[in-house]
Amino acid sequence: MMRLGLIGGTAMTSLATDEIEVSRSDDIVAQTNFGEVPLTCVKSGSNELIFLERHHGEGTTPPHNINHRANIEAMAGAGVDAILAVCSVGTIPDNFPPGSVGYATQYIDFTGVTMSFHDADAQFTSMTKPFDENMNKKLETVLSELQPGLQLARTYWLAQGPQFETAAEIDAIESLGGEVVGMTMPRECKLAAEIGIPYAAILVASNWAAGREPGDSGKDLDHQEVSSTAESRLGPVVECIKSLSNN
């Protein structure tokens, strides 16, 4: 039996379970050392899916205040074999336009915000290859069939938020190797690595990054527009969930 942890946005659980054969679904509240975490535990065939909405509930927690340590400890307490994160991102390169779905192979975090379970003792975790290679191979297989010719492997740049980036910041991010931008995922990845849970991240390009909208470099970014685009691309995400949970 495979027990796959799934971390995503507010609408992920309801949208995904509409597309996945479910024989049982239970809502629970996990108690952790860092606070309570609502989880949805779904039985699908012989496997289990543990859904966690990273913003909790109605998605009112801003990205810079997400309780990542509680979230990852809750996943560990649920006994997940691996974690698949679903991330809405702004996209920079021309060959990964909005609507594209890829996966992360590296991240860059220059926010200076510490994220660790080890605040009281000196323990160091290698992050040379932050994402599980076996999981990424399966994501590559699924996503390349659905999007032939698209370059899928991308580097995620962690922005502090909650403000979107300026056009000048996006230019600087690109020059330093960032291809997509978001406000959450690498913090989860670091914590999962510290406790030895394999982790992979699907990247849903929901909008052009600041200053990159073709024909309108001054276009303002709108959160509602970003969210609706991400939700419309759940189909490839569901296929990835099925592939990982059945292996």
199 and 188 in contact (C-beta within 8 Å)?
A: yes
Q: What is the mean pLDDT of the chain?
A: 89
For residue 152, which of 161, 162, 160, 143 has the smallest C-alpha distance? 143
Q: Which residues contact 161 (CB under 8 A, 6 or more apart)?
A: 62, 63, 64, 183
**CA 196 – CA 226 distance, rounded (Å):** 32
For 73, 81, 212, 213, 219, the CA distances from 84, given in Å and listed in that order, are 15, 10, 28, 29, 32
pLDDT for 10:
62
What span, in angstroms and rounded, lies between the C-alpha atoms of 161 and 227? 16
pLDDT the model gives residue 223: 55
| Residue 161, pLDDT score | 85
The reported pLDDT for the residue numbered 55 is 83
Indicate the SS3 state at residue 32. Answer: strand
Q: What is the pLDDT of residue 33?
A: 95
Cα 22 from Cα 140, distance rounded (Å): 25
Query: What tokens were used for 80?
Result: 């997940």
User: What is the chain's pLDDT, residue by residue, as a tens digit (247 residues)?
Assistant: 789 999 987 666 666 667 777 778 888 999 999 999 999 999 888 889 999 998 886 557 888 889 999 999 999 999 999 999 999 999 999 999 999 999 999 999 999 999 999 887 888 899 999 999 999 999 999 999 999 999 999 999 999 988 999 999 999 999 999 999 999 999 999 999 999 999 999 999 999 999 988 765 556 655 556 555 556 668 899 999 989 987 6
Which residue, among 159, 221, 149, 152, has the nearest Cα to 184 in the 3D structure? 159
What DSSP designation does 31 have?
E
Q: Are 185 and 87 in contact (CB under 8 A)?
A: yes
Predicted local distance difference test score (pLDDT) of residue 189: 98
Write down the pTM of the prediction: 0.92
Provide the pairing of β-strand 153-158 with 47-53: unpaired
